[in-house]
Structure 1
Amino acid sequence: MSRIDTDRPFMAVRIAVLTVSDTRTLAEDKSGDTLVARIEAAGHRLVDRAILPDERVEIAARLSEWCADPEVDVVISTGGTGLTGRDVTVEAHRDVYEKEIDAFGTVFTMISMQKIGTSAIQSRATAGVAHGTYLFALPGSPGACKDAWDEILVKQLDYRHRPCNFVEIMPRLDEHLRRK
């Protein structure tokens, strides 16, 4: 069973948030606001935040830019994970990934099924790793962002979480780049 190991210190993670939308502004970005509030309440650092239109090349470029920045450990995007023609966030993420975290989408779907039933099938939430940075693509609703953070990310981004977590393996994510 998962638990917090109080013998381990908390380690703040540096997180960038990207909202993908053709229509939202920062003032109307409830999903981004939801993520920022939870990131800060958990004790992590918001290092950047942006809104981009549903344009695959622009999204992939921003993700790559953040992955190249040593001040960014994690990128969380919200929006553009659906099935319509303009929903290209998942494809942009996959353009950047070195490795996909397949179970993230599965676990997110399991959580969503409890909240929205079979409508969960329409989400393409995904996660991966690139250049030592974790990337998570969440649906654009505040409820989906709450579910992903409260049920998955708050635990996996906490170094104290047992039996394992994303933070403890962070130093080894780019070890293949250091091999000779």
Structure 2
Amino acid sequence: MSHVSANTPFQPLGIAVLTVSDTRGFDEDGSGDLLSARLTDAGHALVERRIVPDDIYRIRAVVSKWVIRDDIQVVLVNGGTGFTLRDTTPEALTPLFDKAVDGYGELFRQLSYQSIGTSTVQSRAVAGVIDRTLVFAMPGSPKACATAWDGILAEQLDARTRPCNFVAMVLPQGASCASRQPKTTPSEALIVEEVDA
């Protein structure tokens, strides 16, 4: 954990939004709309937005492609965090985490308790770091997405938040998104291109 100085400037991040749903298209994706609006209003860049069905391997496929991109520092996933048979977002993401951010789910449920009471125990909001990319998963309702963004993410994705925030984990000191250090070596990049082909 690095402490933030009082004169640290805002640093925009590249953020991708993934909606997990068997039924929603972009016209019905109020949660994706909310997250996209919140992050751009905050000064970050919406790099990509997708919708995938509640399927472990489709979720992993999209997130795995995004975390190796140099222009994406954060992935926001909404939907699939409940307890039904089709809710598989935590199972899709947690094996990919290099480190889990346990406090995110704990704080999300604490904030959610204020509005939905004990029903918050049915939320399996999870977060972690994959190859220096932050991944946050939250329930798929617009209200839950607002809780996650307004109560946690807006501050933790702002380089000015003191005493500390997540930005230093995904950007080299003093770097902007445009000059982010590559995550792969040239030989690794060739392997990735061959796999994607």
TM-score (norm 2): 0.83
Instruction: Measure the CA separation in 1 of the matches of 2:37 and 2:6.
Output: 24
Distance in 2 of aligned mates of 1:126 and 1:50: 19
Q: Hey, what does 1:149 align to over in structure 2? A: 149
Aligned length: 172
- Pairing of 1:1-180 with structure 2 (within 5 A): 7-171=7-171
> Counterparts of 2:76 and 2:21 in 1: how far apart (Å)?
14
Aligned-residue Cα RMSD (Å) equals 1.8
Percentage identity across aligned positions?
A: 50
Deviating beyond 4 angstroms after TM superposition, the runs of 4 or more aligned structure 1 residues are none
Partner amino acid, structure 2, of 1:50: R
Amino acid corresponding to residue 157 of structure 1 in structure 2: L
Q: Distance in 1 between matches of 2:81 and 2:128?
A: 14
Structure 2 CA distance for aligned equivalents of residues 10 and 150 of structure 1: 17
Which SS does the other structure have where 1:120 is aligned? Answer: helix
The structural deviation recorded for 1:6 is: 6.0
User: Structure 2: which amino acid aligns with 1:164?
Assistant: C
C-alpha distance in structure 2 between counterparts of 1:170 and 1:73, whole Å: 6
Partner AA of 1:21 in structure 2: S
Which amino acid in 1 is paired with 2:81? T
Q: Which runs of 5+ in 2 are unaligned?
A: 173-180, 186-197
Could you list the per-position Cα deviations for residues 148-175 of structure 1 after superposition, in whole angstroms to 9, with x for gaps in the alignment? 0001000000000000000023247x9x
CA offsets 1:117-150 (integer angstroms, 9 cap, x no match): 1110110000000011000001000000000000
Distance, in Å, in 2 between the alignment partners of 1:20 and 1:115 is 23
Larger of the two Rg values belongs to structure: 2
Residues in 1 aligned to 2:155 and 2:41: alpha-carbon distance in whole angstroms: 13
Contact 1:15–1:76 (Cα < 8 Å) also in 2: yes
Q: How far apart are the structure 2 equivalents of 1:73 and 1:168?
A: 11
Contact 1:25/1:51 (<8 A) preserved:
yes
Letter in 2 for 1:135: V
Which ranges in structure 1 are unaligned for 5 or more consecutive residues?
Answer: none
Once residues 80 and 23 of structure 1 are traced to their aligned partners in structure 2, the CA distance between those partners, rounded to angstroms, is: 12
Is the 2:132–2:169 contact (alpha carbons within 8 Å) kept by the matching residues of 1?
A: no
> Given that residues 60 and 95 in structure 1 are in contact (C-alpha distance below 8 angstroms), is that contact kept between their aligned partners in structure 2?
no
